[in-house]
Amino acid sequence: MSVSASERPSVLPEGKLLYQCDFPIRWGDMDALGHVNNTVYFRYFEQTRLEWYEQSGFGSLSSKDKSILIVDNHAEYLKPVVYPAHVTIRMGAHSPGRSSFISTYTLAVGDVLYTRASSKVVWVDIKAGKSTPMPEAAREMFASDSDSHE
């Protein structure tokens, strides 16, 4: 039984769409069951988040002053991804707080959704070892509803 495009889950993440990138699946991403290992998905999301962070002008995640860290991760695996494939990761954001936001991700092959995920991301002062207010540029980026997909 085929599913029409209108019945498929959206490949857009919850919240405002912030970033998109593509990855080729590597043979080494596979596990003994013949599909991408569950831990590898979080590496894909990490790379997407890193590219977004640096290309948005927030600096380097290896900064000794301020950076972001993940305090919660969740993934819902809808279909197994197998080699060979090219995946598209889309990163969204919603629920900005004083120092944190919810980052959402979708992983798709073509127009088919394979995985949905989310992370709670917190801005931190590395030297003080505690959260710090989100940069105003990030707050403005999240506040714009013009690209919201909720």
Q: CATH number, domain at 49?
A: 3.10.129.10
pLDDT in tens, 57-101: 988 777 778 899 999 999 999 999 999 999 999 999 999 999 999
Cα–Cα distance between 24 and 44 in angstroms, integer?
A: 10
Asked if residue 143 is part of any domain, the answer here is no
Asked if residue 94 is part of any domain, the answer here is yes
- Identify the residue with better confidence: 113 or 150: 113
Q: For residue 84, is the peptide bond before it cis, meaning its omega torsion is within 30 degrees of 0?
A: yes
Asked if residue 148 is part of any domain, the answer here is no
> Would you state the pLDDT for residue 107?
98
Cα–Cα distance between 82 and 69 in angstroms, integer?
A: 29
CA angle 56, 60, 65 (to 5 degrees): 115
- Identify the residue with better confidence: 9 or 58: 58
Residue whose pair of structure tokens reads 């105003």 in the numeric block:
136
Q: Which domain holds residue 14?
A: 8-138
Asked if residue 90 is part of any domain, the answer here is yes
Band the pLDDT of 150: cuts 50, 70, 90: very low
- Inform me whether the pLDDT recorded for 146 exceeds 50: no
Domains: count for the chain: 1
Token pair of 70, please?
A: 């993940």
Asked if residue 80 is part of any domain, the answer here is yes
How many angstroms separate the Cα of 113 from the Cα of each of 36, 44, 85, 90? 15, 15, 13, 11
**46, 73 contact by CB (below 8 A):** no
Asked if residue 70 is part of any domain, the answer here is yes
Asked if residue 146 is part of any domain, the answer here is no
Asked if residue 149 is part of any domain, the answer here is no
